[in-house]
């Protein structure tokens, strides 16, 4: 009888220890997934190059032919709309781009700004997040008038919408096509158009809005650059929001109606 009780006791202890380690492993795995700062990867567009890079606070698809990202994507929440003190860093080549991202010296004396695709202004909630936006994989040549003008107005509007709708998903890039003007020894392409697509998936209704802007100075209202996602897909060869249910994806991608978005 004593030996049988001893066996039962040992078995009970082994089971308890097994559950302890199982629970610990499950918790660690679940915690890792929950704290992934690059957020909802299921919203990432397709890549025409196969070189998708995940940084901690945004993802991108790098196009070596044009020496820049064809898209940069990230989640922006109202809680991230902070501005902690951060010293502006130097631009650096992206260590995760296997084909090597363009050097910042390509922009020297080119007449073009280093235009952020994921804005530094969207990543001021931490020094680490802010510094990540200064990889050269996250920049594209933009004229000063465009970068500080209508493009900056659009970036500010996205932050306004984030405050209003709490959480958005943003995809940005230049339209990369053959025979574009280039700068520097690495021939960094200068897009003629830039696009930005914003998805609001946090409310009762999923909605999206897309902008296609000529790379030029403009005083036009932002609503005048609204287009549908289908048009941008045709221009870029990229499929956006492919993981959404087909009925939702098809509906939001064909619309160019901006009335569901607050412009004032």
| CA-based nearest residue to 254, from 219, 233, 229, 217 | 229
Q: Specify the pLDDT at position 238.
A: 98
Q: In what order do the strands lie in the sheet with 52-54?
A: 52-54, 59-63, 68-77, 167-174, 193-200, 207-214, 226-227
Average pLDDT for 10-17: 44
Q: Specify the pLDDT at position 27.
A: 28
Q: Is pLDDT of 14 > 70?
A: no
Q: Specify the pLDDT at position 41.
A: 52
50-99 pLDDT per residue, tens: 999 999 999 999 999 999 999 999 999 999 999 888 899 999 999 999 99
The 3-state DSSP class for residue 209 equals strand
């Amino acid at each position: 009888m004593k030996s049988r009780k001893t066996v039962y006791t040992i078995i009970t202890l082994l089971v308890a220890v097994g559950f302890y380690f199982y629970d610990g492993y499950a918790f660690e795995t679940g915690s890792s997934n929950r704290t992934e700062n690059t957020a909802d990867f299921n919203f990432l567009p397709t890549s025409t190059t196969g070189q998708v890079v995940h940084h901690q606070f945004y993802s991108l698809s790098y196009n070596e032919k044009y020496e820049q990202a064809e898209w940069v994507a990230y989640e922006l929440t109202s809680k991230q709309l902070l501005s902690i003190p951060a010293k502006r860093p130097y631009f650096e080549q992206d260590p995760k781009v296997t084909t090597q991202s363009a050097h910042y010296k390509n922009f020297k004396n080119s007449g073009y700004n280093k235009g952020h695709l994921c804005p530094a202004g969207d990543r001021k909630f931490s020094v680490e997040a802010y510094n990540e936006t200064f990889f050269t994989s996250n920049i594209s040549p933009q004229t000063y008038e465009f970068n500080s003008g209508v493009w900056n107005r659009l970036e500010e509007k996205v932050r306004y919408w984030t405050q209003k709708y709490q959480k958005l998903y943003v995809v940005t890039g230049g339209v990369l096509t053959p025979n574009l003007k280039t700068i520097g020894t690495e021939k960094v392409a200068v897009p003629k158009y830039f696009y930005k697509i914003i998805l609001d998936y946090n409310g009762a209704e999923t909605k999206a809005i897309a902008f296609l802007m000529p790379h030029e100075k403009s005083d036009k209202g932002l609503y005048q650059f609204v287009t549908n996602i289908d048009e941008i897909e045709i221009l870029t060869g990229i499929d956006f929001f492919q993981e959404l249910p087909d009925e939702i994806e098809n509906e939001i991608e064909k619309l160019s109606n901006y009335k569901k978005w607050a412009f004032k």
